């Protein structure tokens, strides 16, 4: 069966199924913020939770009534009734009604082994349980979606049983049959064949709900749509139980940009990257830099041959224009860099390089030598720009650190205050400065600022906002080199610098020196480009 041509329905279950993932926790306020963002993006349905399962979800549905949703319909989730004889008084169904959502999604058993072993009921009883549960909610004026739990496993085990349960949901008044690959073990060709069969025998719009245990949730979701499904469920960034759910951040652009499918209210696909980052931020989780479409590395180019081709025609090494999903192209400077990388990065930084092959050779050689020692310029663009400006003869350090001493206190009676002593030369003057700090790096930072502030009051607003240490050559143990990456900010812009040494104090000081020098160069150098944001 060929895919339908109408708009696909987007059903987001980040707030319910997504929260079942390990290390995932959302407060009521978090869920409200995400729901508002999902509506702004253009989701058709937002599944808010299972109101009868916990007080948090009950509170969410009460507060969600105040949300000003422009398009999305809020949906509550739960199971069929426990007993056929008490459908009208079932606490779960009553809790779903109490949530006051216009749409209710209930799941029921469609794998015979589950109904027999888990519920201990006959086929007929299971079918009646589904039909009457759906009908009860329908009679109360709600639109009802039926999630066919473990449907693909159930279909392969006993096709007749699985289809009978779907027909029972249709008889009860379900407006969508959502086929769930609950164990996440189905393959795309199986999904396509089974979806096509269900559509042929039921006549009700079909949806897909895939889990990612076989790393195929996105592929399976697309296969279902190609087979005729018109409703797709998933989560932002693929969060969810075990290996996660179908990642809508990947499903949506694949369907829109590769297959020409449409969604009712997704008018701004360029908001996709910001939506992904927003949810990660609310979850207090780092973004997946390698995520397709939206990751920081999704359109990053490192090899010199690649960069040379990208500069001529980006589509040669990029499957889409990154701006379509709100991302951007990046060129990395590394030991794999060629002259094309250097030229591209210079253009990105607003630096005009003379067309001298010898200059490029020197820069490429320097970069490769530094990275061999452990330097990394990804996320340390300020250090790279200083390197370029130094090679061009436009930059020389504004100061020189002549001596460094750090005193570290430890022990039962120590005050846990470390001290750094620096001898710093500015022009012909030498400052001998000491400063205390919470740890040696903080003491170094304070001492360096203290020494320079008299000469360069411009540095007073610089703050260290991030500090990362990576041990290189781990097999060398405590004698291994370390790489220190720091991020600094003046309140308006953020920039990154790097230092490498076998001494963590020296590596930190090198990164701090680059940070101060970079800021001073940007402030004082004639025609200097604007400060580089570390992230966009």
pLDDT at 535: 42
Q: Is the pLDDT of residue 518 over 80?
A: yes
**Residues 87-100: pLDDT tens digits?**
999 999 999 999 99
**Residues 325-365: pLDDT tens digits?**
988 766 655 544 555 666 766 776 777 777 766 777 777 77
Among 198-202, 310-314, 379-383, whose mean pLDDT is lowest?
A: 310-314
The DSSP bridge partners found for residue 19 are none
pLDDT at 157: 95
Q: How confident is the model at residue 65 (pLDDT cuts 50, 70, 90)?
A: very high
The DSSP bridge partners found for residue 434 are 421
Question: Structure pTM?
Answer: 0.70
Which of 31-40, 291-300, 345-354: highest mean pLDDT?
31-40
From residue 22, how far is each of 26, 184, 259, 422 by CA, in Å? 12, 17, 33, 47
In this structure, are residues 206 and 195 in contact, taking their beta carbons and an 8 Å threshold? yes
pLDDT at 328: 76
Percent of the chain predicted with pLDDT > 70: 87
In this structure, are residues 464 and 511 in contact, taking their beta carbons and an 8 Å threshold? no
pLDDT at 4: 43
Q: Distance (Å, rounded) from C-alpha 380 to C-alpha 495?
A: 7
Domain 374-391+460-536: CATH architecture, name and number where available: 2-Layer Sandwich (3.30)
Domain with CATH 3.30.160.740 in the chain: 399-455
Q: Is the pLDDT of residue 102 over 50?
A: yes
Domain with CATH 3.30.160.340 in the chain: 374-391+460-536
Average pLDDT (395-415) is 82
Domain with CATH 3.20.20.70 in the chain: 9-282
**Residues 488-514: pLDDT tens digits?**
888 888 888 999 998 889 999 999 999
Question: 9-282: what fold?
Answer: TIM Barrel (3.20.20)
pLDDT at 530: 47
Q: Distance (Å, rounded) from C-alpha 278 to C-alpha 265?
A: 19
Q: Distance (Å, rounded) from C-alpha 486 to C-alpha 468?
A: 6
Domain 399-455: CATH architecture, name and number where available: 2-Layer Sandwich (3.30)
pLDDT at 309: 58
From residue 278, how far is each of 37, 69, 285, 335, 495 by CA, in Å? 8, 18, 10, 33, 22
**Residues 238-291: pLDDT tens digits?**
999 999 999 999 999 999 999 999 998 898 899 999 899 889 888 888 789 899
Q: Is the pLDDT of residue 300 over 60?
A: yes
Percent of the chain predicted with pLDDT > 90: 59
DSSP string for 101-133: -SEEEEEEE-SHHHIIIII---HHHHHHHHHHH
Average pLDDT (4-22) is 90
pLDDT at 464: 87
Average pLDDT, the chain: 87
């Amino acid at each position: 069966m060929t895919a339908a041509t109408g708009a696909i329905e987007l059903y987001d279950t980040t707030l319910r199924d997504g929260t079942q993932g390990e290390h995932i926790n959302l407060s009521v306020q978090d869920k409200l913020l995400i729901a508002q963002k999902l509506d702004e993006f253009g989701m058709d349905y937002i599944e808010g939770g299972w109101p009868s399962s916990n007080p948090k979800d009950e509170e969410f549905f009460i507060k969600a009534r105040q949300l000003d949703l422009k398009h999305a319909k809020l949906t509550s989730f739960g199971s069929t009734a426990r007993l056929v004889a008490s459908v009208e008084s079932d606490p779960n169904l009553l809790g779903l009604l109490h949530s006051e959502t216009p749409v209710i999604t209930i799941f029921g058993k469609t794998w015979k082994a589950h109904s027999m072993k888990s519920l201990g009921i006959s086929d007929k009883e299971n079918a009646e349980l589904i039909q009457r549960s759906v009908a009860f909610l329908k009679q109360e004026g709600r639109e009802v979606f039926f999630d066919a739990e473990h449907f693909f496993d159930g279909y392969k085990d006993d096709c007749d049983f699985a289809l009978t349960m779907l027909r029972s949901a249709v008889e009860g008044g379900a407006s969508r049959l959502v086929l769930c690959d609950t164990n996440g073990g189905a393959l795309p060709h199986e999904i396509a064949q089974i979806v096509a069969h269900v559509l042929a025998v039921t006549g009700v719009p079909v949806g897909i709900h895939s889990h990612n245990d076989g790393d195929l949730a996105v592929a399976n979701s697309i296969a279902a749509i190609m087979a005729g499904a018109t409703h797709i469920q998933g989560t932002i960034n693929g969060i969810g139980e075990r290996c996660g759910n179908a990642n809508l951040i990947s499903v949506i652009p694949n369907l829109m940009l590769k297959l020409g499918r449409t969604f009712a209210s997704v008018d701004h696909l360029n908001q996709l990257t910001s939506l992904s980052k927003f949810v990660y931020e609310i979850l207090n989780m780092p973004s997946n830099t390698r995520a397709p479409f939206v990751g920081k590395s999704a359109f990053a180019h490192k090899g010199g041959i690649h960069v040379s081709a990208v500069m001529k025609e980006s589509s040669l090494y990029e499957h889409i224009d990154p701006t379509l999903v709100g991302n951007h192209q990046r060129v990395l400077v590394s030991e794999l860099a060629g002259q094309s990388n250097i030229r591209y990065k210079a253009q990105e930084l607003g630096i005009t390089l003379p067309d001298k092959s010898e200059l490029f050779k020197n820069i490429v050689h320097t970069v490769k030598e530094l990275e061999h020692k452990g330097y990394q310029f990804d996320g340390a663009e300020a250090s790279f720009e200083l390197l370029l400006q130094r090679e061009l003869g436009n930059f020389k350090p504004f100061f020189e650190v002549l001596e460094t001493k750090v005193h570290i206190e430890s022990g039962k009676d120590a005050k846990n205050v470390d001290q750094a002593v620096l001898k710093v030369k500015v022009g012909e003057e030498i400052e001998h400065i000491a400063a205390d700090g919470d740890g040696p790096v903080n003491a170094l930072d304070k001492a360096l600022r203290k020494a320079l502030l008299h000469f360069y009051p411009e540095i007073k607003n610089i703050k260290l906002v991030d500090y990362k240490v990576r041990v290189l050559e781990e097999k060398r143990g405590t004698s291994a080199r370390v790489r220190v990456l720091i991020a600094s900010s003046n309140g308006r812009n953020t920039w990154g610098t790097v230092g490498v040494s076998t001494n963590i104090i020296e590596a930190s000081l090198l990164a701090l020196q680059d940070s101060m020098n970079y800021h001073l160069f940007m402030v004082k150098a004639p025609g200097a480009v604007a400060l580089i944001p570390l992230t966009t």
